[in-house]
Amino acid sequence: MTAPEAESLRARPAPRRRSQWRGQAPVVAVVALGGALGACGRYALTLAWPTPPGTFPWATFWTNVAGCAVIGVFMVLITEVWTAHRLVRPFFGTGVLGGFTTFSTYAVDIRRLVDAGRPALGPAYLAATLCAALGAVWLASAAARLVLVRSHR
CA angle 97, 55, 39 (to 5 degrees): 20
Check whether 60 is labelled as a binding-site residue. no
Burial (Cβ within 10 Å: 0-12, 13-18, ≥19) of residue 116:
middle
Residue whose C-alpha is closest to residue 112's, from 59, 57, 64, 43? 57
Q: Provide CB contacts within 8 A for 64, sequence distance 6+.
A: 101, 102, 106, 129, 132, 133
At position 111, the amino acid (one-letter code) is R
Check whether 98 is labelled as a binding-site residue. yes
Q: Which residues are documented as binding site? A: 98, 101
Task: List residues forming the annotated binding site for Na(+).
Answer: 98, 101
